[in-house]
Structure 1
Amino acid sequence: MEFGDQHRDRSLQVLERLRTRLAQDGDRFSSVIVDNARPRPAESATGMASEQGLVVPGDNSNREFSGWDRGVETLLSRGEQPDVWLFSNDTVALNHAWSERRLERFGGEIGKLALHPGPWLFGEINDFPRSTMTPMGPLLEWVSTYCFAMNDTLRHRLGTLSPGNALLDSLVNERFEPERGVFRDHVGEAYVDFVSAWLISDDGQGVQKKRRFKWDHEWHKASPLGPENFEDLRMKARCCLSEHMLSLRARQLGADIRSPYDARNAREHIRRSLQFLADKLWEKFLLRRLRLERS
């Protein structure tokens, strides 16, 4: 899923390397690039073929989530029925960097899970500092959705990756009003504070909130809330809700939620922790190098 093709080549380089680590004898891959910067025409769009694959106009009403739903719709309409679905947006190459070992770990775990017939959701896992009441229920952790996978069992039960625009609009304010934030008043304060600390740049209470929630970074477009950026922050808040709801909905549907760094015993925990640290250090190194090359 992309918004314009400026990051397409780099994103596809990462995903192609991941695909080669997923490939097993007899496997077949289908792919679709959804460009949310290209609105869908009134008539049904079948997409266009490019050197990188099928490119279709997107649906930006809920940004990447509605875009991914358009991609699923496209593949299903063409008679495809994947056993495993891999979803990515263009930040897979823009704000992240993948070492060869990290690609191997990611691909290896998906390959292992592919044999599991029950519903599952896979990706890097983030956790709340404590159990947090989201608008759909309590949540301890969630899967990061810049690159994640699930099997068709879960995809079918979910119906759509986006929880629906009507639900999301009932949780965020429609317009900027002084003294009011992005979220509506009935959304839990703890959840609002947690998301806002990452989303909104604030030299006052925002700094304290970041420390309290152990945020060591913020959204790359974080800025003080005002009338000029309210719509952008509002739409990003809807994406945060969608991301957290995806993991919660998956759990409610009986899904196993897994990451490439899961461990079930002391020895494995130590080994996976070292792998996680190594991958994150490599990511910092590779991102620094990529940014130097761009500059």
Structure 2
Amino acid sequence: MRRCGRSRQPKAIPLIVLFLEYTRGTAEVPEAPTWLFAAHAGPTLAKDSKESQRRPTGRLIEFLRNLAIFSIKDAVLIQNADVPLQADRPFRVMAGDNRDREFSGWQKALDELVKIPGLIQEDTVICFANDTFIDHYGDTYLSWFDQSGVREALCQGKAVGYVDRSLKPVSLFGLTTDRWLRTSLFFIRWAELKAALPLRLPVAESEIFSCEGESLFLDRGGADGTDLASPHLSPNLRASLDRWLWAGPVVAGEFDRVWHSAERLSDESRPRLQQKAKCILIERLLSARLLQAGVELQNVRVSSRRWGGLFALADRCQLLEPAQNFRVRAGFTAKEMKRNFKKFLGYGG
């Protein structure tokens, strides 16, 4: 694994930005030509203008500029949406592929960029982002990407982002894992990314999903006693995704979370929910492939910038995950745990 060289003045890390804007709830593929604009779309905006900062592309560039460790070699806005987009410099715009939402769009962009001689080298970092990176979770977590931590992790061949996990390991497509990168924003070098490509499922959807019943997945026994459950997904993974996407039955011993856009499972909602489930599986598979290849996931949730370094300290002492597991099993909310922890440390109410 090649590491970055050390010097008094660290060199800027070459970066390619892939930002995706997509249309939710449709699997339609844009019919526009691949490259829509040679340069940016729309009027030129001052880099610090209020209008630029409000747009996701402007917020992303502002975040990357503040991180101050990258030299942007290319920035591509992938248009999976069916409406005209406004993009700030240095973005250029290409038509995407919305069959697998952001993942098919990103894969199409990568397929195009690798054709450009000399653009992507082994140490080139790819920044993946989509238009939800500040919409659904706020922007507080962006401050957890600290300059030295991100640089060091990337130079060590790690993927960097917000890492989620399950309490128990799950299996998908022959791989077992209990953690994954949240793909709304993450960084990884090309040398490591190649182990996780392509960004698509390795089997047909008909081998995973059911067109009827009280689950999105093939998870039931046949009338003749045969097992029709998909062999590609473990039962606890299928159950947790049913819980997450349409508030299905509670999964014992697991985080009890329901998606902000969950809707009741019906004949009408099933295709939309299965499309979302497919993207979640691709997201999980990406991380599972990286972990199998020996690529560590650097979690910004334990950044030294969070809570004055307390999360980082608890993680180094191997106390963080046991505490989280205890919270779930004891039925405490995260807010209650934080309040009690602050009292224990002698500050806060």
User: What TM-score does the superposition give when structure 2 sets the normalisation length?
Assistant: 0.63
Q: Answer yes or no: is 1:213 the counterpart of 2:254.
A: yes
- Name which of structure 1's ranges 77-86 and 240-249 shifts more when overlaid on structure 2: 77-86
Q: Answer yes or no: is 1:181 the counterpart of 2:215.
A: yes
Q: For the residues of structure 2 that align with 1:199 and 1:212, how far apart are their CA atoms? A: 18
Distance 1:54 1:69, change over 3 A: same
5 Å matches for 1:1-295? 1-3=20-22, 10-24=55-69, 27-38=71-82, 51-52=88-89, 53-79=91-117, 80-81=119-120, 83-99=124-140, 102-108=141-147, 109-116=149-156, 118=157, 120-164=158-202, 166-173=203-210, 176-177=211-212, 179-184=213-218, 185-186=229-230, 187-202=233-248, 206=249, 208-209=250-251, 212-216=253-257, 218-262=258-302, 270-272=310-312
Report runs of 4+ in structure 1 exceeding 4 Å deviation: 48-52, 273-276
Structure having greater relative contact order (Cα 8 Å, sep ≥ 6): 1
Q: For the residues of structure 2 that align with 1:134 and 1:16, how far apart are their CA atoms? A: 35
Matched residue type, 1:21: N
Question: In structure 2, what is the equivalent of residue 293 of structure 1?
Answer: none
Q: For the residues of structure 2 that align with 1:142 and 1:201, how far apart are their CA atoms? A: 21
- Name which of structure 1's ranges 64-73 and 105-114 shifts more when overlaid on structure 2: 105-114
Structure 1: segments with no counterpart, 5+ residues: 40-47, 282-295
Cα displacement string for residues 10-65 of structure 1 (whole angstroms, at most 9, x for unaligned residues): 3123311221133338x2341101111359xxxxxxxx995442111111111111
Larger radius of gyration: 2
Q: For the residues of structure 1 that align with 2:171 and 2:155, how far apart are their CA atoms? A: 33
Structure 2: segments with no counterpart, 5+ residues: 1-19, 24-40, 42-51, 219-228, 321-333, 336-349
Q: For the residues of structure 2 that align with 1:95 and 1:274, how far apart are their CA atoms? A: 27
Identity of matched residues, % = 21
Question: In structure 1, what is the equivalent of residue 7 of structure 2?
Answer: none
Whether contact under 8 Å (2:145, 2:303) holds in the other structure is no
Q: Alpha carbon RMSD of aligned pairs, Å? A: 3.3
Higher helix share: 1
Distance 1:263 1:57, change over 3 A: closer
Question: In structure 1, what is the equivalent of residue 6 of structure 2?
Answer: none
Cα displacement string for residues 249-269 of structure 1 (whole angstroms, at most 9, x for unaligned residues): 1011121211123489xxx97
Matched residue type, 2:189: N
Q: For the residues of structure 2 that align with 1:24 and 1:60, how far apart are their CA atoms? A: 32
Distance 1:77 1:159, change over 3 A: same
Matched residue type, 2:152: K
Matched residue type, 1:257: L
Whether contact under 8 Å (1:123, 1:144) holds in the other structure is yes
Whether contact under 8 Å (2:58, 2:88) holds in the other structure is no
User: What TM-score does the superposition give when structure 1 sets the normalisation length?
Assistant: 0.73
Q: For the residues of structure 2 that align with 1:269 and 1:22, how far apart are their CA atoms? A: 19
Matched residue type, 1:201: A
Cα displacement string for residues 135-192 of structure 1 (whole angstroms, at most 9, x for unaligned residues): 332212111111111111112233323334x44542223xx32x25211222332111
SS of alignment partner, residue 107 of structure 2: helix
Q: For the residues of structure 2 that align with 1:29 and 1:105, how far apart are their CA atoms? A: 24
Matched residue type, 1:17: E
Shift of 1:274: 8.9
Question: In structure 1, what is the equivalent of residue 10 of structure 2?
Answer: none
Q: For the residues of structure 1 that align with 2:93 and 2:137, how far apart are their CA atoms? A: 23
Question: In structure 2, what is the equivalent of residue 291 of structure 1?
Answer: none
Matched residue type, 2:209: V
SS of alignment partner, residue 95 of structure 1: coil
